[in-house]
Amino acid sequence: MKKLFTIVSLIVITALALSACGGGGTQAEDLLAQIMERGTLIVSTDPNYEPQSFLNTEGVRPADTKCASDQLTATEMQGFDVSVAVEIGNRLGVETCFATPSWDLITAGSWADKWDISVGSMTIKPSRQEVLYFTTPYYYYVAIAAALADSDLDSIDDLSGQAVCMGAATTYEDWANGVLDIPAEDIYYQPPANMTTVPLETDQECAQALAAGRTDFVAYVTAEPVVDSNIANGLPVKKIGEPLYLEKLAIAIDKSASLPTATLLEKLNEIVQAMHDDGTLSTLSLEWYGLDLTKAPGE
Amino acid sequence: MSTEEHLAKEKPKKSQADLLYEAQVRSRRRFSLQVILSWIALLALLIFIFSGIEFSIGSFTVRTIDLDSDFIKENLAFIAGGAGQTILICVMSIILATFLALMAALGRLSKFAPIVALSSFYVSLIRGTPLYLQVFFFFLALPQLGIILPGLWAGVIALGLNYGAYMSEIFRAGLSSVGKGQREAAFALGMTSGQMMLRIVIPQALRFAIPPTGNEFIAMLKDSALVSATGFVHELMWRATKVGRAQFNNLEALIIAAVFYWIMTLIFSSLQSRLEAYMSRGER
């Protein structure tokens, strides 16, 4: 008995020690080289948002895909961010695969090499720049507040002293808490006094909770295209007041990646610029949003 | 007419005991029929609550929950496609959990102090922290050691470790249910303690432990929903929440998932009760 257990525990300890030493043994000299070698670009995007990125429930996984089993293929996803990511993959000459971690895991950095880049309509801001590298923006939209269509709220100041909902770890939550750290000229409105916040898992829960008759909050803050999509999907909501701030949306790379990322970042910037110049981004934006959101305001 | 013919024609008279027994069987049958009919009535009531029908009786209005039937039709097959993944996770986790539980239970009975400490430490640590947290732990912490597991495996390890800790108590009870006389008899036959465990104690303990393990499996079917929290396991719950959110139909999507969890639980419960019947027959 004694011997049996000693042997078993020795095996367990050695296995742990061995696995701790293993892994991370790649020959590629940087992340770009590894992507080319692997033949797949692993993109994280949160499939909770229509029309940015959402699941294509009719999509069939191609049999010859190089994507790993816990990644989704381009046919199983759809949306603006998805189309942009696929186009980037095409221009690199590799297949685009999608990893689907929750949003707060993406913005927190430390991706542990589970995916290469984020193409997820992420707003550039300094606190995220501490853990992530950003490319130049690939498109822009504004944040806005929305409430039930039959409510008597019609300006931002009406939200003073009220509870307002937003997705957790979003810039909307930062704005509401007065800690949004984007350039001052991009912020058009400061949050009204005594506004309280209700952070839910995603912005989408806010709109649905209001529509379902919950009264824990009176309004929600999210991206203007999200409110447009809420209205298009038949939710009884309306925008209130003016845009709150400008979101410059970019592709992100993890700073803690185990391989150097400088060449990948440079290459992505080149591709984004080329997609701006040849009108690819405008075409995709018109396709998914019905508007060209690829020009910075005042450009 | 001969006497034999006369006897054959006459109905065989039932004894008092037979009559009593038949009456009992009849009333038992009637009772289970009543249970089934009540089940059907409750199910009909449940379906009615979600029918979206609205009508008034006088000034009193009856309201029911209105679901978007188009959404359900369009997404039913997609969400159901996650059921296979759910079952796969559970089967792999229960295998891991059974192994760990057996090890931990044997460890608790060991005469070697560090082994007792190791197994009781494991059970205490895992039972003392939430499963939701453990799922994230294996997803976020192991990469720092250079172990990058696919989302599915991180989930299986978390579920297996968690259920292994709970099931070790079942296995421990099973092991201690084997009488002392059995062990003494094994020693008297000249078996080593390893042989005694493998040939005498464990086979008898398993008979005691397998039915509750089935129960744990059914509980796990539902807890596997937590594994989707990291976003890398595309099982029932993940599919339901993602499709529901993107199309603003969380309620409909979750109800579809609920129906499939329930169906799976019904199937596995009936398998479990058969297994239990089979196991108890073996005990005679």
DSSP per-residue letters across chain B: --HHHHHHHSPPPPPHHHHHHHHHHHHHHHHHHHHHHHHHHHHHHHHHHTS--EEEETTEEEE-----HHHHHHHHHHHHTTHHHHHHHHHHHHHHHHHHHHHHHHHHT-SSHHHHHHHHHHHHHHHTS-HHHHHHHHHHTGGGGT----HHHHHHHHHHHHHHHHHHHHHHHHHHTS-HHHHHHHHHTT--HHHIIIIIIHHHHHHHHHHHHHHHHHHHHHHGGGGGGGS---SHHHHHHHHHHHTT-HHHHHHHHHHHHHHHHHHHHHHHHHHHHHHHHHT-
Residues A153 and A212 in one domain: yes
Angle A46-A51-A52 from CA coordinates, rounded to 5°: 40
pLDDT, tens digit, 9 for 90 and up, residues A189-221? 999 989 999 998 888 889 989 988 888 999 999
Domain spans of chain B, in order of start: 3-63, 69-282
Interfacial A residues in 185-204 facing B (CB < 8 Å): 202, 204
Contacts of B228 in chain A (CB under 8 A): none
**Cβ contact A48–B251 (<8 Å):** no
The whole-number pLDDT of residue B110 equals 86
Residue ranges of chain B with pLDDT lower than 50? 283-284
Sign of CA dihedral B139, B141, B144, B145: negative
DSSP 3-state of A145? strand
Q: How far is B80 from chain A (nearest CA, A)?
A: 11
Residue of B149, B226, B230, B232 to mutate for A, most A C-beta atoms under 10 A? B232
Determine, for residues B248 and A230 on separate chains, whether the beta-carbon distance falls below 8 Å.
yes
Asked if A257 and A118 sit in the same domain, the reply is: yes
Indicate if the alpha-carbon torsion angle A202, A206, A211, A216 is positive or negative. positive
User: What's the number of domains chain A is made of?
Assistant: 2
Question: What interhelical angle do B151-176 and B202-223 show, nearest 10?
Answer: 140
User: How many angstroms away from the CA of B266 is the closest CA of chain A?
Assistant: 27
Instruction: Note whether B263 and B82 are within 8 A (CB).
Output: no
Q: Which residues of B touch A100 (CB under 8 A)?
A: 231-232, 234, 242
Which of B114, B229, B232 shows the shortest C-beta gap to A70?
B232
Do the domain assignments include residue A150?
A: yes
Considering only CB atoms, B143 lies closest to which of A21, A101, A112, namely A112
Q: What are the backbone angles phi and psi of residue A53, rounded to the nearest 5°?
A: -155, 130
d(CA B42, CA B1) in angstroms, rounded, equals: 60
| pLDDT attached to residue B213 | 87
Chain B residues whose CB is inside 8 A of the A23 CB are: 145-148
pLDDT band at A21 (very low <50, low <70, confident <90, very high): very low
Rounded Cα distance between B31 and A117, Å, is 63
> A139-148 and A219-223: which strand pairing?
antiparallel
CB B128 within 8 A of CB A22: no
| Residues of chain B contacting residue A5, judged by C-beta atoms under 8 Å apart | 106-107, 110, 112, 115
Looking at the fold, whether A156 and A168 belong to one and the same domain comes out as yes
CB atoms A5 and B232 under 8 Å: no
Residue A161 reports pLDDT greater than 50: yes
Point out the residue among A4, A21, A70 whose CB comes nearest to the CB of B151. A70
A114/B247 Cβ within 8 A: no
Strands of A218-291, DSSP E: 219-223, 237-254
A241 in contact with chain B, both atoms CB, cutoff 8 A: no
Chain A CB contacts of B239 under 8 Å are 55
CB of A251 closer than 8 Å to CB of A118: yes
Instruction: Report if residue A97 sits inside a domain.
Output: yes
Neighbouring C-beta atoms of residue B195, cutoff 10 Å? 13
Reading the block at residue B64, the tokens are 């029911």
> Which are the contacts of B157, defined by CB distance < 8 A and separation ≥ 6?
B96, B138, B149
Taking CB atoms and an 8 Å cutoff, what residues of chain B touch A234? Answer: 248
Q: What is the CATH number of the domain that holds A276?
A: 3.40.190.10
Contacts of B246 in chain A (CB under 8 A): 47-50, 54-55, 204
For residues A148 and A222, state if they share a domain: yes
Does any domain span residue A106? yes
| Domain shared by A82 and A121, yes or no | yes
H-run or E-run covering A269? helix A262-277
Between CA A179 and CA B151 the distance in angstroms is 33
Cross-chain residue pair B251–A8, CB shorter than 8 Å? no
What pLDDT score does B121 carry?
95
Do A108 and A182 fall into the same domain?
no
- The CA-atom distances, in angstroms, between A16 and each of A12, B145, B155 are 6, 10, 18
- Strands A163-167, A132-134: parallel, antiparallel or unpaired by DSSP? unpaired
pLDDT at A20: 47
- Using the Cβ of A217 and the Cβ atoms of chain B, whether some distance falls under 8 Å is answered with no
Do residues A103 and A194 share a domain? no
For residue B136, give the chain A residue with the closest CA: A105
3-state secondary structure of A289: helix
CA angle A162, A166, A172 (to 5 degrees): 100
Judge whether B222 is closer than 8 Å to chain A, CB to CB.
no
Burial of B172 (0-12, 13-18, 19+ CB in 10 A): buried
Give a yes or no: residue A18 inside a domain: no
Q: CB atoms < 10 A from the CB of A108, how many?
A: 15
Residue A2 lies in a domain: no
Cis status, amide bond into B212, omega within 30 of 0: no
Nearest to B248 among A70, A110, A207 (CB): A207
Question: Is A6 in CB contact (< 8 Å) with chain B?
Answer: yes
Residue with tokens 């009856």: B62
| CA separation, residue A92 to residues A32, A67, A95, A266, A272 (Å) | 9, 16, 9, 12, 12
Q: Which domain holds residue A125?
A: 31-139+249-289
Cβ-defined contact of A2 to B112 (cutoff 8 Å): yes
- Does the beta-carbon distance from A6 to B193 stay under 8 Å? no
Say yes or no for a CB contact (<8 Å) between A9 and B118.
yes
Beta-carbon contacts of A87 under 8 Å, excluding residues fewer than 6 positions away, are: A275, A280, A284
Please give the CATH architecture assigned to the domain spanning B69-282: Orthogonal Bundle (1.10)
Q: Which chain A residue has its CA at the smallest distance from B227's CA?
A: A101
Q: Taking the CA of residue B264 as centre, how many other CA atoms within 13 Å lie in the half-sphere pointing to its CB? A: 24
A146 in any annotated domain? yes
> Is residue A48 over pLDDT 90?
no
CA–CA separation, A273 and A126 (whole Å)? 22
The reply to whether A109 falls in a domain is yes
pLDDT per residue as tens digits for the range A232-272: 988 999 999 999 999 999 999 999 998 999 999 999 999 99
d(CA A68, CA A165): 36
Residue A207 contacts residue A166 (beta carbons within 8 Å) = no
Percent share of chain B, pLDDT over 90: 49
pLDDT tens per residue, range A95-124: 999 999 888 889 988 888 889 999 999 999
End-to-end alpha carbon distance in chain A: 77
Which residue from A minimizes the CA distance to B139? A112
Q: Is A168 within a domain?
A: yes
Contacting B residues, span 172-201, partner chain A, CB-CB under 8 Å: 193-194, 197
Strands (E), A13-89: 40-44, 48-49, 53-55, 72-73, 77-78
CA distance A263 to chain B (A): 24
Query: Which is higher by pLDDT, B42 or A13?
Result: B42
**Do A48 and B242 make contact, defined as CB atoms within 8 angstroms?**
yes
Q: Do A72 and B231 touch (CB under 8 A)?
A: no
Which letter does DSSP use for residue A159 in this model?
G
The whole-model pTM stands at 0.79
